[in-house]
């Protein structure tokens, strides 16, 4: 393949999975197997964290961005004891110990001074009634980072500190994950406590005093601003990703069809949706997805995906992609602190899914907050679930892609496409259809591409877009004369935009397809 690929093309290809293939995020099995167990008997600390955590204990293990946290001569008992990276690449934790010969309130004031000296603002503080443990929340207003730190001071003057941090925009997404990480930490044979291992911050939430208005004496709290109305910033606040489908056949049958353009990952602040969308959805008799989300819990389906995601026995990535692409893959994985050798027997398309998911997760966009997950959780009692495709079909679409080409695109996008993703999500939130279409498809018409590159683009569009749109439109059209009822069809937004979209194909079948306007 041609190694030099236009950067704009790279970004658009990486974005396609976000709005074209539901499988690409919410049905991806856990592919990363990293260490989440820590034990240090000389310090007397251990923790069995959730499998989504990768715990780093030395400079050699750490990605470049975290190496400054570890001294070159760090011993196993030196702080930080570990830094944890969540699989999302968006959430981090750190554990350290130190000695302090005073009470916790004095330590809190020293800690607060250190926090504020780094340009951080303290949002809240609270302390257990027995003054043995405290929690402090703070943020960096310029960098957009949010932190939570818990501290315990033991009778032997040993201080245990654990901090968690992530983007302020995704903080609410991870609060339960953070609390679970805190709860997993245990100490051994604490002075004046029961013998054996015990949780450091057992029942701390219940033991913390509600003094957040005044805070701990001597610590000034920063003012917090409330959330704004995001849709008020949209160019057209009445625009939506909902379409109404009408025809004489539908009218005669007493049925209705609605199309909703989804995004397969999301954030908690996406919800609730506009009132018109929520009301329409709640009246649905049939909820139609690309793939039935319930099928991802079928062990046979997951086993099939994992099996098909592995290379044939005896093969490795070196046998199916160029040394140049393989080197780039190793570099990207190394920068994340993940050993590339653990993934050498996986199919390139499976690694494409993994990298795409990691990139979206690193920006705080998670499958559990995607539209499919939301609609399934809010499913009306009367609604029956239908699907336009199957997981096996979607795996087939991915297997048909050029392994070398699309993995190369995804690797490049992983490090350069974050701004494009944020623009795309912003356009989707505002249902700004023209810019959204431009971002997704305009570069596929780029005249600067070579004939070989243009052929690759056409093959990609044929596999992921054109042929699937034809099949989807045919099935949706059949609902007009099928069982009477209201059909609410949830498919990736890209299928409803651009030339050859499901919307255009239905209009060619003489359906009237009209965008639904929201109340101003």
- Say what angle helices 348-362 and 391-399 make with each other, to 10 degrees: 110
Integer angstrom CA distances of residue 296 from 207, 313, 372: 40, 26, 12
Cis ω before 334 (30° cut-off from 0): no
SS (H, E, C) 344-359: CCECHHHHHHHHHHHH
Looking at residue 230, what is its pLDDT? 56
**Domain contains 222:** no
Q: Which residues pair with 491 in a beta bridge?
A: 261
**Do the Cβ atoms of 165 and 145 come closer than 8 Å?**
yes
Q: Which residue is associated with the tokens 């609605």?
A: 258
CA–CA–CA angle 180, 152, 45 (5° rounding):
65
* 243 lies in the same domain as 162: no
Specify the pTM. 0.64
* Closest listed residue to residue 260, CA positions, set 248, 247, 278: 278
**Domain contains 201:** yes
* 77 lies in the same domain as 21: no
pLDDT digits (tens, 9 = 90+) for 224-262: 544 445 566 788 999 999 999 999 999 999 999 999 999
* 189 lies in the same domain as 249: no
* 179 lies in the same domain as 272: no
**Do the Cβ atoms of 396 and 341 come closer than 8 Å?**
no
End-to-end CA distance of the chain: 50
**Domain contains 228:** no
* 171 lies in the same domain as 262: no
* 189 lies in the same domain as 297: no
Looking at residue 448, what is its pLDDT? 61
* 181 lies in the same domain as 237: no
pLDDT digits (tens, 9 = 90+) for 181-237: 898 888 886 655 667 788 888 777 766 754 444 567 778 777 654 444 556 678 899
**Domain contains 218:** no
**Domain contains 215:** no
**Domain contains 217:** no
* 24 lies in the same domain as 71: no
* 316 lies in the same domain as 187: no
Domain count, the chain: 2
Whole-number Å distance between alpha carbons of 371 and 22: 10
Whole-number Å distance between alpha carbons of 213 and 39: 38
Domain boundary among 207, 222, 257: 207
- In the predicted model, residues of the chain with pLDDT beneath 50 are 1-14, 26-27, 29-34, 210-213, 225-228
Looking at residue 444, what is its pLDDT? 61
Which tokens is 246 given? 């009408």
Whole-number Å distance between alpha carbons of 169 and 90: 11
Sorted by sequence, the CB contacts under 8 Å of residue 286 that are 6+ apart come out as: 383, 384, 385, 386, 479, 483, 485, 486, 487, 488
- For 403-433, b/e burial (b = at least 16 CB within 10 A) is bbbbbbbbbbbbeebbebbebbbebbbbbbb
**Structural element, H or E, at residue 478:** helix 467-478
Please give the residue range of the domain that contains residue 287.
Answer: 7-29+233-515
* 23 lies in the same domain as 41: no
**Domain contains 221:** no
* 291 lies in the same domain as 315: yes
**Domain contains 223:** no
Looking at residue 2, what is its pLDDT? 33
Q: Put residue 215 in one of left, alpha, beta given phi > 0 → left and psi -120 to 50 → alpha.
A: left
* 53 lies in the same domain as 11: no
Looking at residue 297, what is its pLDDT? 65
CATH number of 200's domain: 3.40.1000.10
Looking at residue 9, what is its pLDDT? 35
């Amino acid at each position: 393949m041609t190694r030099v690929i236009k950067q704009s093309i790279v970004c658009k290809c990486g974005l396609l999975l976000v709005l074209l293939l539901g499988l690409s995020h919410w049905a991806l099995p856990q592919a990363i197997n990293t260490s989440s167990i820590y034990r240090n008997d000389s310090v007397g600390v251990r923790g069995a964290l959730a499998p989504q955590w990768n715990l780093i204990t030395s400079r050699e293990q750490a990605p470049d961005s975290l190496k400054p946290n570890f001294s070159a001569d760090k011993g196993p008992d030196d702080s930080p004891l570990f830094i944890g990276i969540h699989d999302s690449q968006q959430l981090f934790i750190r554990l350290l110990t130190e000695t302090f010969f005073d009470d916790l309130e004095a330590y809190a004031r020293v800690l607060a001074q250190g926090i504020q000296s780094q340009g951080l603002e303290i949002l809240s503080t609270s302390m257990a009634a027995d003054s043995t443990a405290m929690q402090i929340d703070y943020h960096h207003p310029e960098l957009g980072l949010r932190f939570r730190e818990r501290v315990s001071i033991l009778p032997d003057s040993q201080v245990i500190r654990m901090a968690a941090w992530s983007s302020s925009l995704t903080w609410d997404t991870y609060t339960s994950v953070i609390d679970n990480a805190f709860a997993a930490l245990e100490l051994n044979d604490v002075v004046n406590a029961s013998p054996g291992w015990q949780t450091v911050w057992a029942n701390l939430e219940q033991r913390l005093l509600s003094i957040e208005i005044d805070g701990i004496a001597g610590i000034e709290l920063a003012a917090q601003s409330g959330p704004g109305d995001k849709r008020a910033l949209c160019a057209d606040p009445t625009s939506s990703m909902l379409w109404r489908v009408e025809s004489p056949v539908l009218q005669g049958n007493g049925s209705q069809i609605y199309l909703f353009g989804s995004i397969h990952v999301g954030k908690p602040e996406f919800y609730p949706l506009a009132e018109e969308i929520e009301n329409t959805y709640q009246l649905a008799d049939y909820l139609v997805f690309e793939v039935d989300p319930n099928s991802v819990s079928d062990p046979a389906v997951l086993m099939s995906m994992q099996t098909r995601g592995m290379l044939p026995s005896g093969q490795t990535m070196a046998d199916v992609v160029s040394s140049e692409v393989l080197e780039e893959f190793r570099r990207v994985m190394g920068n994340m602190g993940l050993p590339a050798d653990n993934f050498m027997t996986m199919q390139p398309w499976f690694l494409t899914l993994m990298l795409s998911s990691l990139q979206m997760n690193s920006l705080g966009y998670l499958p559990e907050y995607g539209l499919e997950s939301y609609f399934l959780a809010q499913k009306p009692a009367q609604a029956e679930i239908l699907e336009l495709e199957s997981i096996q079909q979607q795996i087939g679409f991915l297997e048909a892609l050029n392994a070398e080409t699309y993995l190369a695109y995804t690797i490049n996008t992983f490090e350069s496409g974050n701004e494009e993703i944020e623009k795309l999500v912003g356009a989707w939130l505002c249902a700004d259809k023209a810019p959204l279409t431009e971002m997704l498809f305009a570069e596929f018409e780029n005249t600067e591409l070579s004939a070989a590159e243009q052929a690759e683009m056409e093959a990609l569009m044929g596999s992921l877009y054109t042929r699937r749109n034809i099949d989807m439109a045919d099935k949706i059209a059949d609902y007009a004369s099928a069982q009477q009822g209201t059909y609410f069809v949830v498919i990736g937004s890209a299928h409803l935009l651009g030339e050859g979209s499901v919307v255009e194909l239905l209009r060619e079948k003489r359906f009237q397809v009209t965008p639904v306007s929201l109340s101003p």
